[in-house]
Structure 1
Amino acid sequence: MATNFGLHRPVHLLGKLRYDLYRLKEAKVSSEARYAALDCANDAWHLVDWVLASVSPERHKELCGHRTLSREAAAGFRDRYSEELPKLKTCQQIANTGKHLILSRQTVDQNISTFSSARFDPAFDATAPTWTGDLWPVLHVEDGNGTSEASSFFGSAWEDWHAWLSCHEPTLLYEADYDGRLLPDV
């Protein structure tokens, strides 16, 4: 019995990542941005599971170094493709923290953190008698490579995944019933 509302291939989860990235960029309030960012991290991390579940047992072992259903498969994949998918470790920690709140079985990388700020449009002028404008939520991801706005970070994760699938598993990137035009351009 299907339980994913018709989403059953890696290309579908990649499309969801793209849509969640759009939601993040368009968020008007902090909660919208935070929910979308957590969804982006979940999508990017769980693409590992979706890819491994979509290939033969032999290809599975080639991709991650472990047999099907091994508890070490996702980490093996992450480590093997860390140069091509450099955001994956950070996405894993954000996704797992979002799911479990406290990580007990995974080593926590203290260099990974998230925080939020705000952007004024137009710029706030404290010397002006009044200010009329918009206040936009801005989320940030910090990892061992520095700090990025979350929309840029997850946009890079989407690009990395698209490139990885194009190179390593192009048949997983396309499907007759997938219409990328339904997704907003991000």
Structure 2
Amino acid sequence: DEAAAAELGRFIHKEDFAAMRVVGQFNLGFIIARLGADLFIVDQHASDEKYNYEELQRTMKIDPQRLIRPLQLDLTAHEELLASEHLDILKKNGFDVSIDPTAPPTQRTKLLSVPHSGGGEPFGKKDFEELLHKLGEDTGETVRCSRVSALIASKACRKSVMIGKALDAGQMRRILLHMGMMDQPWNCPHGRPTMRHLVDL
């Protein structure tokens, strides 16, 4: 699937989606689109899911769940600095922390709340540490710990166009336009390809 995505990335550019013409819907699950002499088949659920996923990754703030008592974190000095520099991203992921600059180094940070798990396994220290590790590698606004990303993927899936739903031309056109707005339009959050090249006419 990665090879197919790489091949599509060489073959078609994101701005090409706006130039695609909708041919029709196949089997209530796929959009047939034409670009010049090339026909493509687009998975309506996978492509809509990926668009919703990227939008939620950028915008969704996870509800925090307050801990009964603050949890002392044993962080390195570097991790404490990361936490203090990215309080907004931590909060967006559902983690609230307090930082006491008068406390001894490595003992300055306490966890006040964790992401609301929605009835699943509670979030904890390991999830927070994973997020800090990712922040050390990437300071982008969409940095998420893996379990928060999984929650977002589940939400994106539920709100997306499903296989079996009949779409009119306008709805199919909107899905194609959205593909051109994505950072990575070639695969859904679960790794399934969003589209394939069918044939040269």
Give the structure-2-normalised TM-score: 0.26
Q: Select the structure with the greater relative contact order (CA < 8 A; seq sep ≥ 6).
A: 2
Structure showing greater radius of gyration is 2
Give the structure-1-normalised TM-score: 0.28
The answer to which structure has the higher strand fraction is: 2
